[in-house]
Amino acid sequence: MGYPRFLGVVEGNQFIIQDEEYHHAKVRRVKEGYKIEINDLQGNIYLGIVTCIDKKSIKGEILQKIPVIEDNFCVNLFLGMPNKLSKIDELIPSITELGVKNFIPVITHNTAVKEKDILKKLPKWEKISLNAIKQCRRLFPVQINRPVSTDKISPASAVKIAFYEKEKEKILKDIKFSADSVDIFIGAEGGITDEEIKMLKSKGFETFSLGPYILRMETAVITGLCQVNFVFR
């Protein structure tokens, strides 16, 4: 059984945990003498022992640096925004666990919410992603980007995949080449319009099927990421 992991600041052979992480550690009933892991969000994980707990912080000594290997495979997820943005709250932990590096909210033809509403949600999504990396033991949280419209998408990978409900033939398992970075586009509720597909293809996206059924946005995201991980990792 591993030690509980918290986000903290490491200086020399000392660590300190404050603010929300402090309250989280208190809920976990961390006591003096407990061993815990500390993620400094700089690509390092440490094993430490708690030596002092006061009203605002938890302090301790570093016992050792834990060897870690960060996954170099990069997944950039372009996702059409649903009408209920709370759905993204529930989706962030899953895309964190499934290895998404960059999450880009997309305002599509079928997106009913406004850009200002999405911008208000970004801090919450960043916080959810931070909490999620402790559970799945990633080094870094998902990078939450500002929203863009479909025509402003800037794909960065050589492999660009648009999961499209009207695509009936091409499936990912037929791909015979490898990649270390993949861009994925999944539309909003109501699907992707013909005009948007043309625009995505002009940017280098290739359409693939997720199967014979119409999936909910949340199901499509998880299914698509699992397929990408299976084919390319």
The 10s digit of each residue's pLDDT in 20-75 is 999 999 999 999 999 999 999 999 999 999 999 999 999 999 999 999 887 889 99
Return the domain boundaries, the chain.
Answer: 5-66, 74-232
pLDDT at position 69 is 81
Distances (CA, A) of 218 to 82, 110, 215: 10, 16, 8
What are 140-158's pLDDT values in tens digits? 999 999 999 999 999 989 9
Rg (CA), the chain: 20
75 bridge partner residues: 100, 182
CA atoms within 13 A on the CB side of 178: 3
CATH of the structural domain 5-66, one choice from 2.40.240.20, 1.10.10.10, 3.40.50.620, 3.40.50.1820: 2.40.240.20
Longest dimension (CA), the chain: 62
Query: How far is 56 from 19, CA to CA, in rounded Å?
Result: 7
Mean pLDDT on 92-114: 96
Strands 159-163 and 181-186, by their bridges, are parallel
Q: Give the range among 108-112, 180-184, 189-193, 217-221 with minimum mean pLDDT.
A: 189-193
pLDDT at position 70 is 76
Q: What is the pTM of this model?
A: 0.92
pLDDT at position 1 is 56
Q: Does domain 74-232 have CATH number 3.30.43.10?
A: no
Q: Is the pLDDT of residue 227 over 60?
A: yes
CA torsion angle for 167, 169, 174, 176 (degrees, to 10)?
A: -70
What are 116-135's pLDDT values in tens digits? 999 999 999 999 999 999 98
Nearest to 95 by CA among 232, 217, 177, 210: 217
Token digits for 204? 């280098």
How does the average pLDDT of the chain come out, rounded?
Answer: 94
Please name the residue that has the structure tokens 């300190």.
16
Query: How far is 182 from 194, CA to CA, in rounded Å?
Result: 23
C-beta atoms surrounding 198 within 10 Å: 9
Angle between helices 86-97 and 115-136 (to 10 degrees): 40
- CA angle, corner 175, sides to 174 and 177, nearest 5? 150
Query: How far is 7 from 72, CA to CA, in rounded Å?
Result: 22
